[in-house]
Amino acid sequence: MDARELKRRYMEKWRRSNARERFVVAALNAYLPSPWRAELTGLGAGVDDYIPRGYSRPEDAFDITIYYSGEPVAWVEVTGVPSSKDMRLHPCRGLCVGSWKLAKAREFNVVERLWFAFVVDENLSIRWLPARLLAQWEEAEAPWLSRCRLRKDENTAVCVDGGYWRKFRSFKQWLLNHGLALARTHRWGS
């Protein structure tokens, strides 16, 4: 299914997705110290319209880019559900991420620097999962990971039991302690 068809199918849900993305970027900017800054950079992040361009870099491919003094350090892909009831109603167990999002991280060689943010709208909660763990679990066929299709004609989602997702503190600690070092090694060559 192409991107335009997905946009049409999920048009009523797109506003909610945009609100999640804006909520996560606001939370990041409220709790990260200066000179850290989070911005909506992904194609379509925070907007309802279809943008007819491809992904040429991680800043285009993922919803949020986190910068340190203007340099990209990490990326965040936002997903979620309106309520915890919705998680119980869908056919997959756990908090789910589209498998194509992990494939994009591999394509851009940023698996180590990408995190997934899962928002439950009803209580404004955010859970965090590093893409590197999801990639490891996927390769090892971890028992707490499952694959399923949220709809029959769509790509597979990778779902992880909610107990394996982390709180904001874990993400912030990783970012301040390891994210910057990874970015410097990868991008700045130091």
What are the b/e assignments for 130-157, b being 16+ CB within 10 Å?
Answer: bbbbbbebeeeeeeebbeeeeeeeeeeb
Rounded to an integer, the average pLDDT of 118-125 is 92
3-88+101-133+165-188 sits in which CATH class? alpha beta
Compare 181 and 91 and report the one with higher pLDDT: 181
In this structure, of 4-18, 21-35, 127-141, 144-158, the range with the lowest mean pLDDT score is 4-18
Nearest alpha-carbon partner for 80 in 26, 7, 23, 27: 23
Contact 96, 158 (CB under 8 A): yes
Q: What is the mean pLDDT of the chain?
A: 83
Give the pLDDT confidence of 123-165 residue by residue, as tens digits.
889 999 999 999 988 887 788 888 887 666 567 888 888 899 9
User: What single-letter DSSP state applies at residue 80?
Assistant: E
Asked, as a colleague might, if the bond just before 72 is cis with ω within 30 of 0, I would say: no
Dig out the tokens for 46 from the structure: 């925070």
C-beta neighbour count of 109 within 10 angstroms: 10
Predicted confidence (pLDDT) per residue in 43-82, tens digit: 777 666 666 666 778 888 899 999 999 999 999 999 988 8
Q: What is the largest CA-CA distance in the chain?
A: 48
